[in-house]
A and B are shown apart, each in its own frame.
Chain A
């Protein structure tokens, strides 16, 4: 009980991190349902890695041009790691959407090349390695207040785009040929869907870390699709599992002094296993 009092007493310290984790978890859990249904589960991982290249590129170019940490003036704006990571994630999203039949190859190629590029380019950056790692992969324990704005804005954009295009996304994802025969442009809608995913993954990775961002895009969606009997139910269950994993995972990591990101993902994985058991029991009856 002592720990729980400590947690609430020091709430102002964790508040921003918990809010960011909850928003990111809700948005990624929703998007994850599309990821799982489209059978592109490695895409979030690759997007996260590609957006890291954007961050490292920004640092490296600033170093090479002698502009200091993030550059100043117009260079500073253009080479802000937030924008470059978004740009790289956006380009990769468009590529994955276009690759379609070869998307698994594209995903693996992008992941491997990005991982290698981050390591090679990282060696040339003068910035303290810890700072770069923090910018690359964030950490869910403490986040800057500005991340609430970033993650909240990204989640809001996802909400707006998907509210407008949900029916078309469903149609082109389920049966692109029939949608195309109706005059719905499959490729354009796929690109838009992937861009929302790329944006959310990129921003969430920098805010809460690669592991939680990837975990929230997979486990809650798997749980939702195990239990949900309709698309709406699958989305709702996924979001609930994601939000519960983020909130409770954070709390438990504090109480038991565990790594925060790993606790959230571990809980999400546990809830997925529970949903699988419930689903199996339901079928057995």
Chain B
């Protein structure tokens, strides 16, 4: 794998049995931090689920040139059933279920790794609390710890800051930025607020199945007002001040 390609989509058509998009090309290299952005219902989650192997592509293939990577996936937390009597620790332990031999629970090593990740997301004090009783931000951290506990090659996050207050959102984003800088972990992060995603991602994928937009590349190249406006179906301005980039969504005019 000379160029470090970890995920390669070539002419891949995504959808649930029926094509949602035209054939798409995407190359994710080891150490990339991808932001996958687009409006609600634009096909972001379907794209990610196709990469994860949860949804079969309608056409083409998703390739892994260096062998199937280990994925750590953080879903949208509101999709989880709060009736399960699980504490935060139980939820993180699930991140290592695939390593447990049949009929066995976590080993000492599994428990150590789980504790490490809970401490890393600063949730050690609440590890024994029922998961459903935690705030939205705390639940997001626990789900992040679970995804990291699987020792992933690729961390996949589906709107990790949804429903969080501004400080919580800033904490998660700076945590991810720091994690990426320290470990070089490959990250794919879905977000619909492009202004927040571009603060951390070095690559962007713009997707909107309704306007047939799919563009992917380095973030600085992708931040063009025209492409963003097409993806979101709204006027978008991009202002650059040195290294900083500001994205403004124009008011919709009746």
Interface residues of B (CB under 8 A from A): 49, 52-54, 71-75, 79-81, 83-87, 90, 94-95, 97-98, 100, 102-105, 130, 146-147, 150, 156
Contacts and interface: CB of A to CB of B under 8 A. Distances in A.
A230 interface: yes
A229 B132 CA distance: 11
A182 B74 CA distance: 11
24 contacts: A36-B83, A37-B81, A39-B81, A168-B97, A171-B94, A174-B80, A174-B86, A174-B94, A177-B49, A177-B52, A177-B73, A177-B75, A180-B52, A181-B73, A182-B73, A182-B95, A182-B97, A182-B98, A183-B98, A184-B97, A229-B85, A230-B86, A230-B90, A234-B85
Given A178-B95, A178-B146, A229-B130, 14 more contacts: A37-B81, A165-B102, A167-B100, A170-B97, A175-B75, A175-B79, A175-B80, A177-B54, A181-B73, A181-B156, A182-B150, A184-B97, A184-B98, A230-B86
Contact of B83 (A37, A171, A180): A37
A170 B94 contact: yes
B53 A180 contact: yes
Interface residues of A, number: 27
Contacts of A171: 94, 97
* A177, A178, A229 interface centre (most CB from chain B within 10 Å): A178
Contacts of A233: 85
A37 B97 contact: no
Contacts of B81: 37, 39, 174
Interface centre among B79, B86, B97 (most CB of A within 10 A): B97
A163 interface: yes
Interface string A6-45: 0000000000000000000000000000001101000000
B54 A181 contact: yes
A234 B130 CA distance: 14
A231 B103 contact: no
Contacts of B71: 181-182
